[in-house]
Structures are given as C-alpha cells and as structure tokens.
Amino acid sequence: MQLPTLSSNRLILRPLHLEDAPAIETACNNAAVTKHLDRVPCPYPKGAARTFISRCQQGLEGVHYAITYKDHFAGVIGVAASTQRLHQAFAPSIGYWLDAPFWGKGYMSEAVTRFLNWYMPLEPTETVRSAVNEDNPRSLAILSQLGFSEIGRNRIYSKTLGHEVNQIELELTANRYYEGAK
C-alpha cells in the first residue's frame, strides 16, 4: 500500500524511512519517552528501529508514520491491526509518541487529529481502539477530546518499567468522531 503524505498546520506525517532509525533509537533510549510505551524496551536495542521500519515497509506492522516538524523527526504515530479479540470486537489500535523536545506544544493533538481525519474513512470496522496508562493524563486528554470513550481497564506488563501498570482501554466510533468534528 502506497501511503500518502499527510500535512497539518505545523506538521508533516510521512511514511517511515530507514533514515529515521537513528532518531527513533535515540528517542527510545530516553526512559521519559518510553515510560508509557508498554511494548518498547528501554534501553532500546541497537538495530531494532531498522527492523521495525523494514517491517512497516513490508506491511507487517500496520500503518505507521513519522511525525516531522520543520523537517525534524519528532515521533511516530500509527495504527496496528487487532491481534486479539477485545470486548467481543476486532478493532485496530492507534498509538503514538513524541520525542521529549517536542512535548507541550500541541503537536500530538494536531498529529492524531490529522491522522484520524485520513484513517477513519478507510477503516471498515468504523472503530479504533487505544489504551493509555492511568498515569498518562496528557494522552488520555488527547484521546478524550477526539471522542474516545473508556470501555474498560486492565493491567499490562510494561517492558520499559519492568512491572505491570494500570491501563485504560478506549474506543472511538466513526459516528462519535464525525459528530465531534462538526
């Protein structure tokens, strides 16, 4: 699948390139960046970013984009196909992260909004899921503002933290998303 480049007011979202690997590895070796990314180990293994990007380019990791600001790599946003049945429904799951220098500027809200504006019309289930750690109020606020609602809670093992954390599961339906966009 040829992915389009997506533009917002300040950001460009583009397919990941192998040249992004060093920036991903640097960011993911910062525990402050990865502490809410339960599947990302910290320290981040050398070569893991190249492997991830290659898998993305082969269509084996869902759809992932580099978030860039003024040609600087800022983070990653993407959606992974559902790999497990959750609450009697299969649905893709959105995830994202920004490198620390880009925090607190509203970039992630802008990136998630732009990504969903492109992705939601393509999603046949008309539903997208996400999960956030309870101690991540900024991410929870972004998702809530876009119409995601809580559908459950669980505990999940965090590779970064090395222990289980409380997590909030959220869901966005196309109807709720488009009603909020009016």
Q: Given a cut of 60, is residue 58 above it in pLDDT?
A: yes
The helix/strand/coil state of 94 is strand
Percent of the chain with pLDDT over 90: 75
Which residues are paired to 129 by β-bridges? 93, 171
Give residue 39's pLDDT. 85
Length of the chain: 182
Give residue 70's pLDDT. 97
Give residue 47's pLDDT. 97
Phi-psi region of 164 (alpha: psi -120 to 50; beta: other; left: phi over 0): beta
**How high is the mean pLDDT of the chain?**
92
Higher-confidence residue: 178 or 77? 77
Q: What is the pLDDT of residues 112-145, one digit of tens each?
A: 999 999 999 998 888 999 999 999 999 999 999 9
Domains of the chain: 6-181 (3.40.630.30)
Mean pLDDT of 16-26: 98
For residue 173, what are its two tokens?
């339906």
Query: 87 pLDDT band (50/70/90 cuts)?
Result: very low
With beta carbons less than 8 A apart as the criterion, state whether 96 and 112 touch.
Answer: yes
Give residue 91's pLDDT. 84
Higher-confidence residue: 20 or 91? 20
With beta carbons less than 8 A apart as the criterion, state whether 145 and 137 touch.
Answer: no
Which residues are paired to 158 by β-bridges? 163
Give residue 50's pLDDT. 98
Give residue 181's pLDDT. 62
Which residues are paired to 153 by β-bridges? 168
Which residues are paired to 69 by β-bridges? 11, 72
Name residue, tokens 């995830």: 95
State the pairing for strand pair 149-158/163-173: antiparallel
Report how far residue 40's alpha carbon sits from residue 94's, in angstroms, rounded to the nearest whole number.
15
Give residue 85's pLDDT. 46
